[in-house]
Amino acid sequence: MASPPLQSRARVVTKSYRPMRGIEVVGPLARPEYESPSDIAAKARSAAAAYVDRHPEHRSKAMMAANIAGAGAGVVRGGYHMAKGLVDAAAFVQRAANPLPDVLLGRKTAGQQTIDLAGAIGDYVIEGRADPSRLGRDAKQAVANAKADLFPSATPVAANTADELARRFSIGMNQGELGANVASLAVGGPLAKAVGKAGEVMALQRFPAARYIAQGYSPEAAAYLAEPYSGMGSHWVPRRTKPPSWFVDSDYNVLKPRGITRGEMYELHARVDPKFSTARLPPRFADRSWRFEKSGLRRHGPLAQVWHGMPGATKAKGGGSLAAFGSGAHQLGEEGYQ
Amino acid sequence: MTLLQVAAFTSDFPDDMVEDEHDIIQFGGKGVSEAIGAILSGLGYSVGELDYQGERGWEFSAGAEGQQIWLLLSDLGDYLMLQVEDPSFMGLRPKYRQFREHFLSGLTDALNRDGRFHDLLWFAAVGDPFGFPDPAGEGGRRPAPQAWRWS
């Protein structure tokens, strides 16, 4: 059986679901191999576009959020491709060490493929010597392609909100993947991981409602959940235990971080209080209630519930001994629920 | 022994949630909590004061013969949820368990007899070792394997 043309295999190395400009993807590799993140992103984009059309004042924030969310997804995609590259490389090395299966199956061996690739590179270099201007043209084209892939201003704005969100998200993904690749070259995985987290945090800071839209809430309910929380907070020592009156509703007993949104507070509350899992939403929304299970989060374990449910003021007063307890509780709690 | 922890039901009580044009000022369930408190008083339990707990709902206690049980009622719009809050470690004592069993069976009978409450189902805390089941979760309010209908 003849192996697919070298060019189509080489497309895997470009690490992009969307073909780079000027290169046509052919054969079975033209179909994305890992579509689920894109599907999820498309769903969120469509809901976000409807919201932005209704609230044009949030348009610039939404575009920025799509860009940053795309960057986070690009980092993940970069990690996936890095891992896939390692697996492919390992398979290639294995095939080079043992070419017999390839020979028996009538495929090109790893050695023959290496020779083909070297030949193609050699041809390109020879042709470049014959026509030096070609190298310059190709380099210029590569820079133009990179600009179009990485900078929003290098390509025209899309005709409608949904397409523009998709364009910004796609550019963000390219930026994120490039960032992940550069970061992994520099210091490896940990930094790449931090870059992804930072992208996510920045996106949520700029457009927190996107998080709840992605969880399946209507844009109106999502906007409500993204507003500042003004409720009672979570009581660390339950009121029914009748703690001293100076303590019961004080900052030492009420967990209610400054600037937290409704949705964040509900999530925080549910993670530390096993009896809180659902909260009613105003009847004007189609969504009748906020539900913890939609968040995709898990509750803390019993010890970690004590630690994470403790207000910052109490942690600060307790100092080192509480920090030691917290460290242990966090470990036990997180692991206890796996 | 499986402990039943959460009851989900509907009622004929009017929605008593208080809201302004933008936000919920007071979550609903006060009227239903008071009605359940009155039912428990009728069954001979001493019922404590209602304590408003924001988005959690309304908490109150009921006790008899030195034992006490805490109940948390949340109005979730489509249905009401009543959670049993066992005091720490007390649930391990056989005497408390006996009290709890008697209490829940009496309460269930009374709620089933009272024409203002409907579709009562009890759920056990299974599936989420550190949390209570969400009756509105997977499967909606259909009777699930972990749901019991006491009659």
CB contact under 8 A, B24 and A300: no
Domain extents for chain A? 6-207, 217-336
Dist. CA B56–CA A64, nearest whole Å: 35
Q: Which residue range(s) make up the domain with B59?
A: 4-148
Q: What integer is the mean pLDDT of B130-139? A: 47
- The per-residue pLDDT of chain A, averaged, comes to 69
Quick check: B35 and B12 in contact, CB under 8 A?
A: no
Chain B residues with CB-CB distance to A282 below 8 A: 19, 22-24
- Mean pLDDT on A285-294: 87
Between chains, do B134 and A293 touch, taking CB under 8 Å as contact? Answer: yes
CATH code for position B56? 3.30.310
Please report the pLDDT score of residue A47 as a whole number. 77
Nearest to A95 by CA among A175, A3, A188: A3
Distance from CA of B141 to the nearest CA of A (A): 14
User: Within an 8 Å CB–CB cutoff, is residue B17 touching chain A?
Assistant: yes
Give dist(CA B85, CA B104) in Å, integer.
12
Residue A191 has pLDDT above 80, yes or no: no
Band of pLDDT at residue A5, cut at 50, 70 and 90: very low
- With CA atoms as reference, the chain B residue closest to A229 would be B23
Contact A289 B77 (CB under 8 A): yes
Q: For A239-253, write each residue's pLDDT tens digit.
A: 888 888 888 888 888
What confidence category does residue A206 fall into, taking pLDDT thresholds of 50, 70 and 90? low
Residue A253, chain B, CB below 8 Å: the answer is no
Averaged pLDDT for residues B92-119? 87
The gap between the terminal CA atoms of chain B, to the nearest Å, is: 19
The total number of structural domains that make up chain B: 1
What type of residue is A209?
A
Phi/psi region, residue B127 (left: phi>0; alpha: psi -120 to 50; beta: rest), is left
Report how far residue A56's alpha carbon sits from residue A62's, in angstroms, rounded to the nearest whole number: 10
pLDDT at position A274 is: 81
Per-residue pLDDT of A49-107, as tens digits, reads 787 788 777 777 777 777 777 777 776 766 666 565 555 555 655 666 666 666 666 66
Q: What distance in Å separates the CA atoms of residue A229 and residue A244, rounded to the nearest whole number?
A: 26
Of the given ranges (A134-143, B43-52, B117-126), which has the lowest mean pLDDT?
Answer: A134-143
What confidence score (pLDDT) does residue B147 get?
Answer: 43
**pLDDT value at residue B28:** 95
Q: How far apart are CA A65 and CA A44, in angstroms?
A: 12
Mutate to test the interface with A, among B19, B123, B130, B138 (most CBs of A within 10 A): B130
